[in-house]
């Protein structure tokens, strides 16, 4: 029997979305994990970018116990999370033309690398330009977005296109436009966003696929261990030393 309390309803909604990802996005998840494994095997570097709350999913795969040591966060000042004050400034920066190109010009990204770009709506100038400019540099792009936005909203990029239009692989998070799973008659606005739960799980599914794909090729996946288990720090030091030329968060 379904739980009619708001907490239960939200958890049921999140579980339903995760089940849809499992059943409907298996192909793109495998393709994305394989692309990252191909990049690692060829000596390329891995990066993730997200603006605002989409940055939470990007941060979740960087320097993470049980995760790939080679995932690096591509940061854009003022749009990573809600650390900028006032917070609405971060939203405004996502709409600034030219910002993504300036960031890439100052970043270590180069041809042969892979970049995961996370944007729920995929409509703002920053993620669209980031994908366009990265691919022009020979970087392969994996986009994580809600494809529904392209059908129900308008682009804020000069080209009129969305993030999904400029990616080698697109992962559809299935999040409904507005990112709010619940409504109540006596609450004037929809509430309870699930995009962070879903997008984080989606990316961890990709990371798991990458690790397994590398192992299947006889390549030890460069995984980090928890620093709170015996031997964890020693393990991580070895991995970071082995891949020091592809890890940028330690410098």
| φ, ψ of residue 155 in degrees (nearest 5) | -70, 150
How confident is the prediction for the chain on average, in pLDDT? 94
User: What is the tens place of the pLDDT at every residue in 185-203?
Assistant: 999 999 999 999 999 999 9
Strand-strand pairing, 71-73 and 46-50: parallel
Burial class (CB in 10 A: 0-12, 13-18, 19+), 230: exposed
Give mean pLDDT, residues 118-139.
95
C-alpha torsion 183→186→189→192, nearest 10: -40
Tell me the DSSP string of 163-194: GGGG-SEEEE--PPTTS--B--TT-SS-B---
Give the number of residues written for the chain.
Answer: 251
What pLDDT, in 10s, does the model give residues 144-181? 999 999 999 999 998 999 999 999 999 999 999 999 99
Residue 218 CA to residue 214 CA, distance in Å, equals 7
Query: Which has more confidence, 90 or 230?
Result: 230
Strands 140-145 and 71-73: unpaired
Confidence band, pLDDT 50/70/90 cuts, at residue 2 = low
Nearest-CA neighbor of 49 among 70, 81, 69, 75?
Answer: 75
Dump pLDDT digits (tens) for 46-86. Answer: 999 998 899 999 999 999 999 999 999 998 887 877 777 78
Q: DSSP string spanning 75-90?
A: --TTTBTT-SSSTHHH
Percentage of the chain modeled with pLDDT above 90: 85
Write out the two tokens for 216: 């299947």
Average pLDDT on 192-215 reads 98
Run of H or E including 213: helix 195-216
The pLDDT > 70 percentage for the chain reads 98
Rounded CA-CA distance 157/224 in Å is 38
């Amino acid at each position: 029997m379904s739980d009619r309390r708001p907490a239960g309803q939200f958890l049921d909604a999140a579980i339903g979305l995760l089940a849809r990802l499992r059943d409907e996005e298996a192909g793109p998840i495998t393709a994305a994990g394989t692309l990252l494994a191909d990049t690692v095997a060829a000596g390329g570097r891995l990066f993730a970018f997200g603006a605002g709350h989409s940055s939470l999913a990007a941060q979740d795969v960087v320097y993470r116990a049980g995760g790939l040591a080679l995932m690096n966060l591509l940061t854009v000042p003022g749009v990573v999370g809600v650390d900028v004050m006032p917070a609405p400034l971060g939203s405004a920066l996502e709409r600034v033309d030219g910002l993504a190109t300036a960031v890439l010009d100052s970043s270590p990204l180069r041809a042969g690398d892979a970049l995961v770009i996370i944007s729920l709506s995929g409509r703002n100038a920053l993620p669209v330009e980031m994908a366009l400019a990265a691919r022009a540099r020979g970087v392969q792009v994996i986009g994580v977005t809600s494809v529904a936005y392209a059908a129900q909203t308008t682009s804020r990029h000069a080209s009129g296109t969305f993030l999904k239009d400029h990616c080698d692989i697109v992962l559809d998070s299935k999040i409904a436009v507005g990112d709010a799973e619940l409504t109540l008659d006596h609450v004037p606005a929809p509430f309870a966003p699930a995009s962070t739960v879903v997008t984080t799980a989606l990316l961890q599914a990709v990371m798991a696929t990458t690790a397994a794909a590398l192992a299947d090729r006889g390549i030890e996946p460069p995984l980090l261990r928890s620093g709170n288990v015996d031997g964890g720090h020693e393990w991580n030091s070895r991995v970071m030393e082995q891949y020091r030329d592809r890890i940028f968060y330690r410098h």
